[in-house]
Structure 1
Amino acid sequence: MTPSVKRSCGDCTLCCKVMAIEALAKPANAWCQHCKPGRGCAIYAARPGECEDFACLWLVNDLLDERWKPSRSKLVVTTSEDGIEVRCDPGSPNAWRKEPYAGDIRAWAAEGERNDMTVVVIAGQRLILVTPDREFDLGIVGSDERIVRELEGTKVVDARVVRESNGLDASPCRIGDAIPNRA
């Protein structure tokens, strides 16, 4: 993704904490060894391709106003093949429940329900599937597991985690960078 012409990371380095970086064997929710929080990357010119290619939605989507800047909101918003992922700063796992974030997340969930897309909040290692009227706390989802949604029409009425080998025909929700890719 190409960052917005109007925005730059500036003092924000939250992605360097909440995102996993495979090339550096950096797990999610831990500071990258090369990050200088609030200042930037010490190896910026030689950073891995996955860092170079990454841009949070605040950088690339002018619909997310200044309140959504990750260093302010304590949330990094990204997309996945299935929808939107909201990653919380481990030090602020409930930031997504505050306004204006909670209202926006519910609105995205309503839009997602109409368009077969998901909204997932990642707080620490916990995954929470958000729908317009409910939250499904799915706990820790392993690399050999996936989320299966039970639908009535387009409305999500239940969600559970199953091992991929179960071969279920239900509507799966694959979560991207928060856990190992299951593409």
Structure 2
Amino acid sequence: KLFQKITAKAPHAFANKDWQAINDISRLRISYYDNRVNETTQALQKAQSTDELNEALWLEVKKIYQHFLCFHPQAELAETFYNSVFCRLYHRRYFHNDFIFVQATLKDDPPVPVEAEYRSYFPVVDGLKPTIKQIINHFDFKASFVDLERDIRLLVKAFYKQAPDTHHQPWQMRFDIL
């Protein structure tokens, strides 16, 4: 609920061009997520030794967790949370399909209508810049851009700078916007 409450403030802050509030909202969202991951990690460390990976246990944990994802409105976010917890508990040598979610569990299931939760955009359809423009236009920020095309170019540049080694092509991308 805290996450949703702070997220609900973002459109108003953007419409008022309150960039500090936008920054604060982003920071709080990340902080809330990190706090939940840390709390879960600490609870697991107290409940059981995590010095060595108990492979049988974690295979069963992932199987049960995967079962619950079938009815989760944000299954991919739940998978990311699981991965965050697991990766804080164990060494990277265990980061493979057996113990973490590499591909979305529900990718082959019929889509559940969760547009109120998130919306997916696929740059393969129109290209990266038009997709970003579509995302921006969808949210109706109620604040005009001085130069939207320039802002999109800068956003794409920052995106590639943040992930210089990924070299993803548009057909390899998907944006899920909460």
TM-score by length of 2: 0.27
More strand by share: 1
More helix by share: 2
TM-score by length of 1: 0.27
Name which one, 1 or 2, has greater alpha-carbon Rg: 2
